[in-house]
Amino acid sequence: EYGTFETRKAADAAGGVLESVHRTILNRKQSPQSGSYVSSLFQGGLDRILKKVVEEAGEVVLGSKNDRREEVIYEVADLLFHVLVVLGYHGISLQAVYQELANRIGKSGLRLEKKRGGDR
């Protein structure tokens, strides 16, 4: 059993944790639980969720500007978590995001910006 836990932890550290967290978020959306932070975010609505994304993005920026590696790691984890909540809110799978990223491999970022209209 110890090996199984360690194997799962290694897989999670390699990226599987995103899928696991996303599944939990979707579960909380479908079946809200008392005392659940995610359930409370969904109950607060899209504006509350988006406010958290903006707040966490700002904290990533501050941690980076202050050159605080551990703070950047911590705040990026918070930001990713809240972005996963946004995806869950809209019923968007991680696979859809992975596919979009895969579609961009080998393409110029400048060309992609022009395609979507640049700065809006």
Summarize pLDDT for 67-85 with one digit per residue, the tens: 999 999 999 999 999 999 9
How many angstroms separate the CA atoms of 80 and 57, rounded?
Answer: 9
**Residue 36, SS3?**
coil
Give the C-alpha separation, 52 to 61, whole Å: 14
The pLDDT value recorded for residue 105 is 87
Q: What is the pLDDT of residues 8-44, one digit of tens each?
A: 666 555 568 899 999 999 999 999 999 999 999 999 9
Residues 6+ positions from 114 with CB-CB distance below 8 Å:
none
pLDDT at 120 over 50: no
pTM score, whole prediction? 0.79
Confirm if 48 and 41 have CB atoms less than 8 A apart: yes
